[in-house]
Structure 1
Amino acid sequence: MKQGRVVFGGAVHGCTPSVDGRVRLADGRVVAETEVQWLSPFEPRTIFTLALNYADHASELAAKSSKDQAAFLTAQRSEPVVFLKAANAVVGHRGLTRRPHDAEFMHYECELAVVIGREGRNVPRDQALQYVLGYTVANDYAIRNFLEPYYRPNLRVKNRDGGTALGPWLVPASAIADPQRLRLTTHVNGKLVQEGTTADMVHDVASLIEYLSGLMTISPGDVILTGTPKGSVDVRPGDEVVCEVEGVGRLVNTIIDDWTPAPRDAT
């Protein structure tokens, strides 16, 4: 069953979807989705983030890059490009993400997020999916002018407070027959701007688990953000961004100006 975490009445509650589109708290109360403050559906431990794990996205960035950068972006890589993200970057479903005042181009990145459920080291690829607890949706914002050169994601953009939305649900691994056959879409203010499939990953979920566990011990609560397909559109304060992964969930996020105070939670 899908599981989430929310704040309601000044306390943190586990929750599940209700049949009428609302949410059922662990104590049995049913409330509207908009009555709660959404948290990440699990408490992230180490957050692994993939850069350029979809060939079409790498080509999209290459077309907007210098000659040297384009050569790197379009080259075949024998291993994934991975960097780490801190927990402060995470915001939940219906959360607010600030656009920095000096951002020239800020875009969403709809991603399948893989949550680890077992400790492992040197996990072979053919056993890798046995280490997956479940899946959720991620929207990992990038600020193009902060990412120069594009193949070196950095602290300034990828660890900004609230720059990575996760949720709303943690879907058990058993509910997803094949993580490499899922459609991803992003809508901005109701308009479809991004569409792809996890079948187009350069390095699939099992390969990523094998690779990461070969470098270090993976542990319960670790999460892998597996990359995004092409379809980068600049987003501005007031935009509502909806990222959806087939069978996993629909994640809503709103952009606000860097100078706009976030409203207090009424719950």
Structure 2
Amino acid sequence: MKFSVSELSYLRSSLISSPPLRPDCRKPGQFRPVESEVDWLPFTNGSARVRAADGSECIVGIKTKVVARSEGSLIEPSVDITGYKDNDPLPNSLAEALRHTLNACPELTAQLILTEKYAFRLYVDCVVLSFTSHPLSLLSLAVFRALKSTRLPQLISSRDDTLVDEIPQFNDDWDAAQPICTKWSPPLVLLLAIVGDNVLLDPTDAELEVAETALCITWKNNAIAAPIKNVDIGSGKNVGGYNPKVLLDAYDLVQSCAAQVVSMIVS
């Protein structure tokens, strides 16, 4: 939706006030209402569907394949967005953000190792059916839920295959499959907008239009983790920079509300 100059000016004035007044009356650290379902897709190791109150919707399916450990990355995300071509910047940037975040998770990589020679490769296939604001947070929620539901078949052959060319063998009983997330939780990427000296969680498109920049902060195992970085929101309207103290405010905001976001989507 396009906004007039007067609408954007009024919105920015509202958001830079103390406390900020958001158009939907949410608090700075309040996420949009969402609902999620797991085990939504058949013939996958794990899947999830997440829908937000504004009509945004993402579906994620996770599949595995046994590969040689020498074949490179063990986690391969892909993102398709309804109405976007494969070479459009948005789906490619979202896939790269997921790839960087998931491959930086040693707990996840460790679960994929089978033997000295073989490992599972995890294919994280994401589809954004609709969105009314930047889809990064909602997509990350869907990946989080899909990983929490993912199970891997039980290895029944030897893990030590350094001296033999042994292909891994698995238990055919799916009830014996093990969840990939046991004593750890997947990373969750949260998007925040900086408007003046205020930080807003899960910003709408209108809020991003008047923001100086956006940040993505990763939450994992009840703590903030790498990466923490700026996101190109492409507005270009407020290029004067921002107070570095706001970064600390963003850190504190995520510390105070991320656990609540996680409980919201797993309850």
Q: Does TM, normalized by the shorter one, top 0.5?
A: no
Structure number with higher relative contact order (C-alpha < 8 Å, ≥ 6 residues apart): 1
TM-score, with normalisation over the residues of structure 1?
Answer: 0.22
TM-score, with normalisation over the residues of structure 2?
Answer: 0.22
Query: Of Structure 1 and Structure 2, which has the larger fraction of its residues in helix?
Result: 2
From the CA coordinates, give the structure whose radius of gyration is larger: 2
Query: Of Structure 1 and Structure 2, which has the larger fraction of its residues in strand?
Result: 1
